[in-house]
Amino acid sequence: MTSFDPIDRKILKLVEADASLPVDAVSEQAGLSRNACWRRIKRLEAEGVIKARVALLDPAKLNLGLTVFIAVRTTRHDAAWLDAFKSAVRNIPEITGVYRLSGETDYLLRAVVPDMPAYDALYQRLIAKVALSDVSSSFVMEEIKDTHALPLDYV
């Protein structure tokens, strides 16, 4: 694991909060010269700490106002089924997160869709592509916290 000094953490917090910040602004707020800051950012990218720079879009403004968490159970755990499952979920754009879990639920999927009919269409596409033994969906009524910012106090 790479070690990070307080300046690295400051740079990471700044870039994580706003990836569009120019290097000049990051360097000023981090207390570094422009070149030193640029080198640190490039090192963090090369080490894979900064994986990508993205824009976060507002789903409601894009007619994607319904977030669904889909709990999936399966009786199959062989490589062929897993390959089919991975292919299916990766090729359904409405599915924005997939997690393999411990416990009774095997996988938890997060999806965003415009409405219930769109969710039903997604569900029908999913079960047509891969055999599932149990699917249970929960619909988000209120988003209280949703962040991609990682807690950097541990690095």
pLDDT confidence bin for 93, thresholds 50/70/90: very high
Q: For residues 141 and 66, give the distance between their C-alpha atoms in angstroms, rounded to a whole number.
A: 8
Contact present, 111 and 68 (Cβ < 8 Å): yes
Q: How confident is the model over 44-61, as a mean pLDDT?
A: 95
> What was the pLDDT predicted at 154?
85
> What was the pLDDT predicted at 155?
82
pLDDT confidence bin for 1, thresholds 50/70/90: low
- Mean pLDDT of the residues in the chain: 95
pTM of the model: 0.88
Task: Label residues 63-77 b or e (16+ Cβ within 10 Å = b).
Answer: ebebbbebbbebeee
Q: How confident is the model over 12-40, as a mean pLDDT?
A: 96
pLDDT in tens, 66-85: 999 999 999 999 999 999 99
pLDDT in tens, 107-124: 999 999 999 999 999 999
Q: How confident is the model over 103-110, as a mean pLDDT?
A: 97
Report the Cα 103 to chain-centroid distance in Å. Answer: 22
Q: For residues 121 and 99, give the distance between their C-alpha atoms in angstroms, rounded to a whole number.
A: 21
Long-range contacts of 115-120 (CB under 8 A, 24+ apart): 115/65, 115/66, 116/66, 118/66, 118/94, 119/66, 119/68
At residue 7's C-alpha, the angle toward residues 154 and 1, to 5°, is 45
Domains, the chain, in order of start with CATH, read 6-46 (1.10.10.10), 59-139 (3.30.70.920)
